[in-house]
Amino acid sequence: MALLELVDVRRSYRFGDAEVRALDGVSFEIESGSFVGVIGRSGSGKSTLLNILGGLDRPTSGHVKVEGAVLSTSSSDKLAAYRREVVGFVFQSFNLIPHLTSLENVALPLALQGVSKAERSERATKLLEKVGLAKRMGHKPTELSGGERQRVAIARALVNEPHLLLCDEPTGNLDSKTADEIMGMLTALNREGRTVILVTHDREQANRYSKRLLILADGKLEEDLRLDGPDAPAVAPPPSPTVNPGPAPAGEEPGA
C-alpha cells in the first residue's frame, strides 16, 4: 500500500467573489521510502501541497490518505498527532524558535510528545552530534550561520524519528556548498528508509537527488517523472490525472 495517496485534492482561497486555486485537482501516490522532488514556478502550489501532505492544512475538497486511512477529514488533534509522530518538517526559513537554544529547539518535539527531560536532552544531543553541531548546543539561532540553523532544523525534524520528511526549499537560503551538505544529509536519511519529499526551485538539484519528480503548474500536476537511476529514461505520467486508485473505499468521491 502506498504511504501517501492524494485523490483529486483541491485547495482554494476565497477573496470575496474571486477564488485562488492553489491546488486544482491533484492526484498521485507516494511509495514508502521514496525520494520525491516537487518543482514548479513560484505560486504553483508547492508549499500548499506540502502543508496538506504534512497535515498542517486541509484540502478544500478531495482526500489525502496515509497508509489507507483518510487524513484530510481527521480532527485537529489527530492531525497534530500525525505531525508529532509521523512527519518531520524542514522549512526554507528554518522556523527555529529564537529564544530557545539549539538543544532546546531540537528537543521541543519530544517535549510535545511528553518525553522525559533526561531522554529529551540525550536524544537531541545525539542528533546535533550527527548533524555536526556538537559545539553549538547552547547557542541561540541568531548566533548560528544559515547552514548551521538549517542543520538544527533538520535535527529537530528527525528527533521524533519521523517516517516522512517534508522539506520546503531547505537550501533556498544557503550557498551552494552548504546546500550540497544539506542535500547529502537528506539523501543519507532517505537511504535509512525515510520517505523524503523535497520542494525546490532548483530543477538541477531535483534531478540530481530525487528518484521521482512532480512538476506543478497553476495548482495542477503537470508532470510525474520517474528518475530511477541515471540511465533510466524519464517515465511519462499517465494521460489522465486519475491514477489507478486501487480498491476504493466505500463512499469515496469519484475523481474529477
Ligand X SMILES: Nc1ncnc2c1ncn2[C@@H]1O[C@H](COP(=O)(O)OP(=O)(O)OP(=O)(O)O)[C@@H](O)[C@H]1O
Q: How would you classify the pairing of strands 61-66 and 69-70?
A: antiparallel
By beta carbon distance, the residue nearest Mg ion is 47
By CB under 8 A, is residue 163 in contact with other proteins? no
59: three-class secondary structure by DSSP: coil
Q: Among residues 160, 190, 200, 210, which is the contact residue for other proteins, using CB under 8 A?
A: 160
Q: Which does 40 bind (CB under 5 to 8 A by kind): Mg ion, other proteins, ligand X, none?
A: ligand X
Exposed e or buried b per residue across 126-135, where buried means at least 16 C-beta atoms within 10 angstroms of its C-beta: ebbeebebee
22 binds, among ligand X, other proteins, Mg ion, none (CB under 5 to 8 A by kind): ligand X
Distance in angstroms (rounded) separating the CA atoms of residues 172 and 189: 19
Place of cell 540553523: 149
Contacts of 192 (CB under 8 A, 6+ apart): none
Tell which one of 156, 194, 211, 212 touches other proteins (CB under 8 A).
156
160 binds, among Mg ion, ligand X, other proteins, none (CB under 5 to 8 A by kind): other proteins
By CB under 8 A, which span of 30-38, 93-101, 200-208, 220-228 interacts with other proteins?
Answer: 93-101
Residue 54, interface with other proteins (CB under 8 A)? yes
Is residue 56 near other proteins by the rule CB under 8 A? yes
Nearest distance in Å: CB 51, other proteins: 5
194 binds ligand X (CB under 6 A): no
User: Residue 156's binding partner, choosing from ligand X, Mg ion, other proteins, none, with beta-carbon cut-off 5 to 8 A by kind?
Assistant: other proteins
User: Beta 164-168 vs 195-199: how paired, if at all?
Assistant: parallel
| 256 touches 25 (CB < 8 A) | yes
Output the CA torsion sign for 44, 50, 53, 59: negative
The footprint of ligand X on residues 8-67 (CB under 6 A) is 13, 20, 22, 40, 42-48
Which residues in 37-76 contact Mg ion (CB under 5 A)? 47
Q: Which amino acid is at 101?
A: T
Asked if 11 and 52 touch (Cβ cutoff 8 Å), the reply is yes
User: By rule CB under 6 A, what count of residues binds ligand X?
Assistant: 11
Minimum Å gap between C-beta 135 and other proteins is 23
Helices (H), the chain: 46-53, 76-85, 102-113, 117-130, 146-158, 176-191, 203-209
Chain positions contacting Mg ion, by CB under 5 A: 47
Residues that bind other proteins (CB under 8 A): 51, 54, 56-57, 76-77, 80-81, 83-85, 87, 89, 91, 95-97, 99, 108-109, 111-114, 117, 156, 160
